[in-house]
Chain A
Amino acid sequence: MAQDSGTRTLISHAQLRRGRGRVLYWTLLTVVVVGFTLVFIGPLYWMVTGALKSGQEIAQTPPSLFPQDPQPQNYVDAWTNLNLAKLLFNTFYYAVGAVLFQLVLDTAAAYSLSKLRPVFGNAILGLMLATLMIPAMVLIVPQYVTVIDLPILHLNLLDSPFAIWLPLVANAFNIFLLKRFFDSIPEDLMAAALVDGATPLRTLWSIILPMSRPILGVVSIFAVTAVWKDFLWPKLVMPSPETRTVSVGIYAFAGGTPMNVVIAASVIAAIPTVIIFLVFQRNIMSGLTTGSLKG
């Protein structure tokens, strides 16, 4: 999947470089680039500029391409009326915690399953992977019941960030990705560390983790975007206005707020994930395809 400029695909290069093929190729490329820009960026442009229009302007037919009388006030209203600063901070806080919990607990578990291999390790791995088969919607009710009254401890985790952090640790896909990466680290390194008298923890910290930066990056990025995009679970376990995530907060306000302000808030809510994507797009795309292909 790395460099593919040399491999031949459906249509040969030679055919595309000559005469009619060349004309056709450039025409098609132009059409696709323009078409895709319209289809994928167009709605986002509409969203960002639409939120700048006044209530009357957004309802006029035909709609205007540029806001005639830009109303940045919509964005200001969204920020203050919906208390977006608080909502964004909450979401950010949940995302950071989720990354930390997943990195520590899932990495430790994957390391154990890959390198330490205690008894019943494979059975535990099997049970973990089996959870991938169970659709999230099926578990939503019993999970909610568990979170409002934890077994044995009888704690109520509603409105507590642990209600978001801990269930996200139970992510078999992370364990699978990490374990497969650790499996590819040669056993000799482990043996060498053992000869030098390193404890398993020391080996993990000084040998395995430094080699695993790419996969740790992928897991972290996915953890952040998962928290940022999630809707139903945070809606259920973070019921009070002070603990809401940004998506849930916008939804809660959508009924009684002018629609341009709701859209302005949606734009602001989307900015962090878009930035993460543009910065880390290489890691995200490679993580997505390695995770799915070589299983």
Chain B
Amino acid sequence: MAITTAPGATGAPGRPAPPYPSGWRRTSLGRKVRDNLTGHAFLIGAVLCFAVFSWYPMVRGVVMSFQRTRRGQTTWVGWDNYARIVDDPSFWTAWKNTFYFTILALVLGYAVPFLVAILLNEFRHAKGYLRILVYLPVMLPPASALFLFKFYAYDPSEAGLFNATLSALHLPTSEWMQSPGMTMPAMVIASTWMNMGSAVLIYLAALQNIPGELYEAAELDGAGIWRRIVNVTIPQTRLILALLAMLQIVATMQLFIEPLILANGAGTGDSATSVAYLIYQHGFFQNDLNGAAALGVIMLVVLAGFSAGYVRLTAKQD
């Protein structure tokens, strides 16, 4: 779902046209007030839910990060929570791991769906079947899929699916989650398998909107397949590529359930601790909701800063 959410942000069309054709209706003040009240009556349920579970928590999170609650007593502590969070040795490890995961996921989880979509778009047969295959893992509950990876695929002996396949092909096997160096790649593989379906389908829809004449013209100019991809396909899907990159980064920075299930949280030698996992740890195990709120604010600032920089960068290219 996350992948499809952001376009909404750009799609707030404000239509100035009046709700009903004017003229045949008297626009008395009482009538106007009543129409507005009706309108707001329809809105009130959703607005209350947004207010209580979205807008208020946003403010509350920032306020909490400057407070400390002990035995029912809440006091203002300034930047103490932030200082404590940053002093935690896991803080930097978690950021390092999260960035590493984000970059690896970008290399694998971003390029692969695009290439798969380009490939699938060329086929005239088995299209429906291939689409269903790619999207199927997206529908599995992540906990189910991750237990599959944990117990059956990443088994460090040769009984596991991956090691059995690798050794059958005479390739070196790996200890996967038991080896700190493989923890992140293993999590990226599982995460890409689970999530790439939605990106593939979105790319496929974008590819189908490319006018065929562009390829025709490029081919007449003697452009080979590779040139056609670079000069037609990529420029024509540039917007959706940029958008999905952004969304993917925001999603992967929130890496949580993969370390929790695959690596039992921190993993071998802290190799799996993520920022989101640290929020969970502080908030719900170390009884430090204020510290967790501060870490949440830090995460928000990093992501917002990143998004702003990214928007600037892509806007410049246009």
Contact = CB atoms under 8 A, between A and B. Distances in A.
Interface of A: 1, 4-5, 7-13, 16, 29, 32-33, 36-37, 39-44, 46-47, 50, 58-63, 104-106, 108-109, 111-113, 115-119, 121-122, 124-147, 150-151, 166-167, 169-170, 172-173, 175-177, 180, 183, 187, 190-191, 194-195, 200, 204, 222, 225-226, 228-229, 231-232, 236, 246-248, 250-251, 254, 259, 262-263, 266-267, 269-270, 273-274, 276-278, 281, 284-285, 288-289, 291-293, 295
A130 B300 CA distance: 13
B279 A137 contact: yes
A273 B140 contact: yes
A46 B256 CA distance: 25
Contacts of A187: 17, 19-21
B316 to A, nearest CB: 21
B167 A140 contact: no
Given A10-B233, A226-B1, A266-B144, A132 B6 contact: yes
B132 interface: yes
Given A116-B38, A124-B47, A277-B139, A146 B279 contact: no
B240 to A, nearest CB: 7
A141 B279 contact: yes
B41 to A, nearest CB: 8
A254 B148 CA distance: 12
B5 A132 contact: yes
Contacts of B276: 137
A291 B148 contact: no
Contact of B9 (A39, A106, A133): A133
25 contacts: A1-B208, A10-B121, A12-B219, A40-B193, A41-B133, A43-B161, A61-B158, A116-B39, A118-B35, A121-B43, A131-B50, A131-B58, A133-B9, A143-B53, A144-B283, A145-B64, A166-B53, A176-B11, A183-B13, A247-B144, A251-B143, A262-B147, A289-B205, A295-B7, A295-B11
Interface in B33-92: 35-40, 42-43, 45-47, 49-50, 52-58, 60-61, 64
A121 B261 contact: no
A239 to B, nearest CB: 10
Contact of A150 (B52, B212, B250): B52
B143 A269 contact: yes
Nearest to A140: B279
A281 B129 CA distance: 11
Contacts, number: 359
Nearest to A176: B8
Interface string B288-304: 01001100110110011
Interface stretch (B99-107, B149-157, B176-184): B149-157
A285 B135 contact: yes
